[in-house]
Chains A and B, each alone.
Chain A
Amino acid sequence: DVKVTQSSRYLVKRTGEKVFLECVQDMDHENMFWYRQDPGLGLRLIYFSYDVKMKEKGDIPEGYSVSREKKERFSLILESASTNQTSMYLCASTPGGPYYGYTFGSGTRLTVV
């Protein structure tokens, strides 16, 4: 089975800190995605990447950046964490083409205090 591994299950950071959320997939998938999930707002796409060093903004990219230096790893970066970035962050990956489903990680619950 494909695995998408997020480095931390729970994370507590202070306002203004630089935060790195790491995601690794083990099945050579081209496409990787970062979502955040908030009560009442559902899952919203932050950024995605369809190849190494390629990135595209999703629906809510403000306050975030991403890095994809290797195919298997997709990092979400909060340059200066704020309390409104407290959320559940979910990483997903999928092979290229429309014939496949997404595989999601278990999520990182980030609290910014």
Chain B
Amino acid sequence: DAKTTQPNSMESNEEEPVHLPCNHSTISGTDYIHWYRQLPSQGPEYVIHGLTSNVNNRMASLAIAEDRKSSTLILHRATLRDAAVYYCILRDDAGGTSYGKLTFGQGTILTVHP
């Protein structure tokens, strides 16, 4: 499975933008870039995913490098509720299966200061 590299931790102030980086230099053409976050004592929550183009949804934006070897999750205005562990994952759909597996790394612990 292709691997991702994320900083262990990041800090932000409330209402400021946050840019969470992820490196995935061995990404293959069929890998989708997924981001999930996990709040304390909860299961992971889907945030956003993309293949080649930048993506926006109500939670965040995903900026994907042109060579796809890196991506950045952007939280436009951090709130205290955004404090969580953020996982960048490559979904492996090689072989045309319908069940792309997610392999979780250690993620980035985001701390948001009031």
Which A positions have Cβ atoms within 8 angstroms of B? 4, 30-31, 33, 35, 42-45, 48, 50, 56, 58-59, 90, 92, 94, 96-98, 101-107
Contact = CB atoms under 8 A, between A and B. Distances in A.
Interface of B: 30, 32, 34, 36, 41-49, 51, 91, 93, 97-107
B107 A107 contact: no
B42 A107 contact: yes
29 contacts: A30-B99, A31-B98, A31-B99, A33-B102, A35-B104, A42-B105, A43-B44, A43-B104, A44-B104, A45-B102, A45-B103, A48-B99, A50-B98, A50-B99, A92-B43, A92-B102, A94-B100, A97-B98, A98-B30, A98-B91, A98-B93, A98-B100, A101-B48, A102-B44, A102-B46, A103-B46, A104-B36, A104-B44, A107-B43
A2 to B, nearest CB: 10
B105 A96 contact: no
A104 to B, nearest CB: 4
A49 B47 CA distance: 23
A48 B91 CA distance: 14
Contacts of B100: 94, 98
B45 A104 contact: yes
A98 B44 contact: no
Given A30-B98, A31-B99, A101 B43 contact: no
B106 to A, nearest CB: 6
A94 B41 CA distance: 22
A30 B99 CA distance: 8
Contacts of A4: 43
A82 B101 CA distance: 27
Nearest to B49: A101
Most-contacted residue by chain B among A33, A43, A96 (CB, 10 A) = A43
B98 A96 contact: yes
A32 to B, nearest CB: 9
A39 B49 CA distance: 26
A90 B41 CA distance: 11
Nearest to B102: A102
Contacts of B105: 42
